[in-house]
Structure 1
Amino acid sequence: MSKKLTKNALTATATTLAMAASITSWAIEPQYIKLTESTLFIPTLQLKEVYDDNFHADDNNEQSSWITTLAPSFTLAGKGNKSGYLINYTASSDTFHSSQKDNNTDHIFTAESNLEFNARNRLKLNAGYRDIEETATLNQNQENDQYNSKTIGGVYTYGARTARAQIDLGANYDELRYSNSNHLNDDEERDTTALRSTFYYRVAPDTRLLLEARHTDYDYISDTNSSSTNIDLLTGVTWDATAKTSGSIKVGRGQKDYDNSGIDTASTGMWEVGATWKPRTYSTFRLTTRRAFDEGSNSVGTIGDGTDTTVRNTNDDSAVKLQTTTLGWKHYWIEHLYSDLSYTRMDLEYLDSNREDKLNNIGLGLTYEMRRWLDIGLGYKYSENDSDVNSESYERNIYALTINASL
C-alpha cells in the first residue's frame, strides 16, 4: 500500500472513531474490527451493580432494591471521501432483585451522517429511536411510564470553516408515544417540529458572534389544549477550544403561544451557557446553565456520570419554566485514576398551576482505567426534590459499581 493510501486509511479510521466517541462517550479506548478499509465495527459492554434506596422517587411509597444493569452496545462507523456515518444500537437491561415487576430493557438506536459537498456546503443528518421504561415516574396505575420516541433531523451549513461568516439551517421532527395500559399517558403523546437558524460572524481566529432564531411546534394528539408554539431569539458568542477554555454563551427571550386562544401567552428571559476550563492537563471544570420553557415530561437533569434524573410529575402535560445549572470537576489524581464530581440545581415553575419544584443532585464518581479496554468505577448519587405538592417531594440515594469493557 502506498504512503498516500496508508495516510488516508489512518485519517478515515481516526475520523470514524472520533465520530463514534462523540456519541457513545467512551472512557475506554475500544478496539475496532475492520470490516472494510473504511468501515469499522466496535462492540462495547457495560455491567453495573446499583443499590437504589428509592427507585420510584416517591417518599410516600419508598422501595429499594439492588439493580443489575447489562448494556451491550454495537457501533458501525464508516467514512468516504466526503462523507462519514455512524450507527449505534444499545440494549440496556435492568434486573430489580427486590421487585421483579420493574425489570425492563431499554432499546436505543441512533444514526448520524456527515456530508461535505464542497468547502462551503455541509450537511449533518441524524435519526433515532428510543424504547424506554422509567421507574422514577410511577404513575397512578402503579406502573412505570413506558414510551417510545422517533426522531429525524438535520443541519445544513453554508460557509467555509475558515470564512468570516457562516449560517446553519436546522430542522428536527420527533414523535412521542406511550404504551401504558388503559390508555394512560395518552394525553402526553405529541409530535414536535423544530426549526432553527443560526448566523455566525467570526471576530477572532477562535471566536464567533452568533444570532439564533428557533420555532418549535408541539402538536398534542389528544390533549389539544396543551398544543403550543415556542418562539425563541438568542444572541451570543462561541469560542473554539484554546489552551484552557472552550464554550458558548447565548442569551435572549422565549415565548410560548398556545393554540387555544383562551390560554394566556407566556414569555421569559432565557439563556444557554456551556463552558469548559482546563487549568491543568489533568483537571477539567465544566459549567452548563440553561433557562427556557420545556414540556413537563422533558424535565430531566443529570447527576454524577450523566444519568438522567426525572422530576416526578402528576401533571406531566403541564409546561414548565425550567432553570438548571450544573457544575462539574473531573480530576486525574494519577495517570489512570480520576474522580468526577458534579452538582445540579433545577428550578421548575409549572405554568398551569401554583406548583414549583426545586431539585438538587450531587454525584461523585471514582474511575480506574485498569486497561485500554477496561474501566472500573465507583459512584454515589444523591437527589432531593422539594415540591409545593407534598406527594412530589422525595430523597434518593444511589450507590453504583460500573464496569466498562471492550475488545
Structure 2
Amino acid sequence: MYKLTPLALALSLLSGYAVAQSAPNAAIPQAVDIYTLKEQVDPDGAMRVGSFYLYPTVGITFGHDDNVNAVNTNTKSSSVFNLSPSLLLEQLNAAGDTYSLGYRGSYTRYTSSSKDNNDTHEVQGQVAIQYDPRLNTLFRAGVLLDSDARELTDRPESDRPDKYRNTYANYLVGYGANEAPGRVEAEVKYNNKRYTNNRSTTLDGDLDAFDLAGRFFYRVAPNSQVFVEARYTDFDYKLATPDQDSTEQRLLLGYTWDITAATQGTIKAGNLKKDFTSNTRKDFNGLTWEGNAKWMPVEYSTVELTTRRATDDSTGTGDYIKNRKYGIAWTHKLTDLFSVNLAYSDIHNDYVNGNRLDKIKLYSVGVGYDVRRWMKMSLEWKTADNDSTVRASSYKRNVIMLNTQIGL
C-alpha cells in the first residue's frame, strides 16, 4: 500500500491544523506545537535513542525590563534572566506515521522584582497516522502550566502573576489525497483551564472550552486552495456569577497557498456570532477575519504579515473585547551569519460596555548571529506603548534582551 513520506504527511496534516489554530479566543491558552522545537536551532541536530530521535535545545537570555508590571505609575525596573530548555522525542516509522513527545520549560527570574518570577512547563504528545493515501489523522494532547502576562488581563493586580493549569486534547481527521481536487477535515478540541493562585480574583476565569470544526478544501491551482470553514465553540465558565458562559459560531471563506518557498499563507474571513447565556451581556454578530502570510522577495529576505479581527472574553472589564490586530515583521540576512529583524504590530482592544479602548503599538528591532550550526545569538529591543482611554491602564514598556539558543 502506498504511504506518504513522513515530510509529506506532516505537511498535509499540519497545514490544516495551522488553519484551525491561527487565532483562538484569548481565554484559551495557546499550546506550542512540539514540531517547532527541533527547528529552534537546527532541525538536523538529533541524538539517536533506539528507534527514536531526540532533539534537545536550551535558550539562555539576559536582559533588562523597565516596567515589569506594565503599569502607568509606580513602575518597577529590573534585570531579568530566563532559561528555556526543551526536548522532543520523535519516531518516524516505515509507514510514514509519526509519534512525538515533547517538553518545553521557561524559568524567568527578576533581580529586583522576585514576586514576578515565573516558571512555565508544557508536556505534549502527538500521533500522526496515515491510513491510506486519502485518510490521515492527527491526535494531540498535553498539559500547560503557565501564568497570565499582567498586561493581558484587567483583574486587580496581585503580588504574584495569575497562574493556571490548562489540559488540552484535539483530534483532526482529514480525507482526500494530497494532490486531489478536494479534501475534507473534521476536528474536535477540548480545553480545561483552572487557575491555581490568587483565587479571590481568578476564580471567575476557570472554564472548559469545547470546539468543533469542519473544512472543505478545493484545489484551484497546483499549490493553492480555497476552503470553507465552520467552527462552533462552547465556553463553560465554572463560576455562576458573573455569568460568562457563551457560544461562538464562525462561518469562514478562505484561501491558502504555498507557492515554493517564495510565498505562502492563509487568509480567511466571514461571520462570527457570539451568544451569551446571560441576557445582561451584549451579544456580537459581525465580520471576523484571520490571516498570516510570508513573502520572500529574495532568498535572503523575508516579510511576514499577520492580521486578526475577532472577540476575546473579558477578564473583568466589559462584556467582551473586540480585538483587531495588524502586524508586519521583516528579517534580512546581511551575510550567511548576520541578520537584522524589524517588527511592528498595531492592536485595538475595544471593551464592549466597559467604556474602555486600548490602542497598543508594539515595536522590535534585533540583530542575529549564527555562531555555529548548533548555536545562535541575538540582541533584541522591544517596546510597547498602550494608549488607553482609562488612564490607569496606559503604560509604556521597554525590554532589551541578549538571547542564546543552543542545540546539538
Q: Settle same-fold status: TM greater than 0.5.
A: yes
Q: In the aligned structure 2, how far is the partner of 1:323 from the partner of 1:394?
A: 19
Structure 2 residue ranges without an equivalent (≥5) = 15-32
1:210 aligns with 2:210: no
Q: Is the 8 A contact 1:30 1:372 kept in 2?
A: no
The alpha-carbon deviation at position 296 of structure 1 amounts to 3.4
1:175 aligns with 2:205: no
Q: 1:112 to 1:161 in 2, by over 3 A?
A: same
Identity %: 30
- 1:75-154 matches, cutoff 5 A: 75-80=88-93, 81-134=95-148, 136-137=150-151, 139-154=156-171
Q: 1:365 to 1:30 in 2, by over 3 A?
A: farther
Supply the AA of the counterpart residue of 1:163.
Answer: A
Q: In the aligned structure 1, how far is the partner of 2:224 from the partner of 2:135?
A: 21
1:381 aligns with 2:395: no
Residue of structure 1 aligned with 2:306, choices 288, 312, 316: 288
Q: What secondary structure, in the 3-state scheme, does the structure 1 residue paired with 2:217 have?
A: strand
The alpha-carbon deviation at position 389 of structure 1 amounts to 1.3
Supply the AA of the counterpart residue of 1:111.
Answer: G
Residue of structure 1 aligned with 2:64, choices 42, 46, 51: 51
Q: 1:321 to 1:14 in 2, by over 3 A?
A: closer
1:187 aligns with 2:187: no
Deviations 1:206-241 (A, max 9, x none): 111111111011111004621100111110211123
Coordinate RMSD, CA, aligned: 2.3
Partner of 1:67: 80
Q: In the aligned structure 2, how far is the partner of 1:133 from the partner of 1:204?
A: 44
Q: What secondary structure, in the 3-state scheme, does the structure 2 residue paired with 1:263 have?
A: coil
Partner of 1:311: none
Q: Is the 8 A contact 2:9 2:130 kept in 1?
A: no
Partner of 1:5: none
Q: What secondary structure, in the 3-state scheme, does the structure 2 residue paired with 1:226 have?
A: coil
Q: In the aligned structure 2, how far is the partner of 1:250 from the partner of 1:32?
A: 37
Partner of 1:163: 180
Which segment is superposed worse, 166-175 or 318-327? 318-327
Which segment is superposed worse, 28-37 or 89-98? 28-37
Q: In the aligned structure 2, how far is the partner of 1:189 from the partner of 1:207?
A: 40
Q: In the aligned structure 2, how far is the partner of 1:251 from the partner of 1:59?
A: 36
Residue of structure 1 aligned with 2:213, choices 193, 196, 202: 196
Q: Is the 8 A contact 2:37 2:88 kept in 1?
A: no
Q: What secondary structure, in the 3-state scheme, does the structure 1 residue paired with 2:259 have?
A: coil
The alpha-carbon deviation at position 139 of structure 1 amounts to 3.8
Query: Which TM-score applies when normalising by structure 1?
Result: 0.88
Q: In the aligned structure 2, how far is the partner of 1:94 from the partner of 1:141?
A: 18
- 1:1-16 matches, cutoff 5 A: none
Structure 1 residue ranges without an equivalent (≥5) = 1-7, 298-313
Q: 1:29 to 1:125 in 2, by over 3 A?
A: closer
Q: In the aligned structure 2, how far is the partner of 1:85 from the partner of 1:371?
A: 29
Q: 1:355 to 1:220 in 2, by over 3 A?
A: same
Which segment is superposed worse, 228-237 or 179-188? 179-188
Q: In the aligned structure 2, how far is the partner of 1:24 from the partner of 1:360?
A: 31
Q: What secondary structure, in the 3-state scheme, does the structure 1 residue paired with 2:131 have?
A: strand
Q: Is the 8 A contact 2:162 2:198 kept in 1?
A: no
The alpha-carbon deviation at position 181 of structure 1 amounts to 3.2
Partner of 2:25: none
- Aligned pair count? 380
Q: What secondary structure, in the 3-state scheme, does the structure 1 residue paired with 2:282 have?
A: coil
Q: In the aligned structure 2, how far is the partner of 1:169 from the partner of 1:182?
A: 37
Q: 1:338 to 1:49 in 2, by over 3 A?
A: same
